[in-house]
Amino acid sequence: VGRWTAEENRHGIVLRDYLVVTRGVDPVALEQARMIHMTNGYSTMAVVGDKAPDFDIRTSSSAGFLFSVAYVTFQELATRVSHRNTGRVCDDPLADRMLARIAADENLHMIFYRNLCAASLDLAPDQTIEAINTIVQNFQMPGAGMPGWRRNGVLMAKHGIYDLRQHLEEVLLPVLRKWNIFERNDFGVRGERAREDLAAFLERLRGEVLRFEEQRDRSLARAAKRQHQSV
Ligand SMILES: [Fe+2]
């Protein structure tokens, strides 16, 4: 975990250095946003704590561990996907190579946490599937709440860096498949309930993906029409 933290900081260093030397962003605005975001802080438990059934943060350190390893498994894979796609749209071979290298690290991070979570599923299937279900249904990236977060999220979705379909098909489903979530037979009553709840959530998400894409296609068509009319 220490090594993971050190590597994440290295990603931050290289991305910031690249943006400063290429004048890619306003470094003062970047630093101000960083100060606001770091001062707000982040906690997986703040996100899921009040939504987790029977969870008491003062007495359940093992449950806290399960939420954390489930969360970082999905979150590291999400960074792998978004860094890789960011490299592609940068239109700069250096940025593409740099982000591919970062994405390779993120993949290793994901595998580490995915293995921990897989072992947890074998040891304590019901507890672990409940944590996974809560995390999947309340998932947010660590950048949530930082200045410009919503606007930037919309831009990322619009340009194919990270959207709802990628979240479902490239992040959630491959990990759940790897853990054999829907084929396991070691769940008790609690675990079965969580698994059914998770399956229903994924079905709703599939519907949202289609609605989002229809909306996006309509807005792109409108923009193309406006451009055509102004020529
Ligand atoms: Fe990472």
- Between 230 and 17, the more confident residue is 17
CA of 191 to the centre of ligand 1 (A): 29
pLDDT in tens, 137-163: 999 888 888 888 889 898 898 888 999
pLDDT of residue 57: 46
pLDDT in tens, 105-133: 999 999 999 999 999 999 999 999 999 99
pLDDT surpassing 50 at residue 173:
yes
pLDDT of residue 143: 81
pLDDT surpassing 60 at residue 51:
no
Neighbours of 74 (CB within 10 A): 23
CA of 102 to the centre of ligand 1 (A): 8
CA of 217 to the centre of ligand 1 (A): 32
Per the structure block, which two tokens stand in for 229?
């009319």
- Mean pLDDT along residues 23-30: 93
CA of 82 to the centre of ligand 1 (A): 11
- Mean pLDDT along residues 197-220: 93
- Mean pLDDT along residues 221-226: 87
Instruction: Show the domains of the chain with their CATH numbers.
Output: 2-230 (1.10.620.20)
- Between 186 and 53, the more confident residue is 186
Banded model confidence at residue 10, pLDDT cuts 50, 70, 90: very high
Which residues neighbour 29 within 8 Å (Cβ) at sequence distance 6 or greater? none
CA of 190 to the centre of ligand 1 (A): 31
CA of 76 to the centre of ligand 1 (A): 5
CA of 73 to the centre of ligand 1 (A): 9
pLDDT of residue 58: 43
CA of 106 to the centre of ligand 1 (A): 4
CA of 111 to the centre of ligand 1 (A): 10
What gap in Å lies between CA 8 and CA 152, rounded to an integer?
21
- Mean pLDDT along residues 36-41: 88
pLDDT of residue 22: 94
pLDDT of residue 231: 67
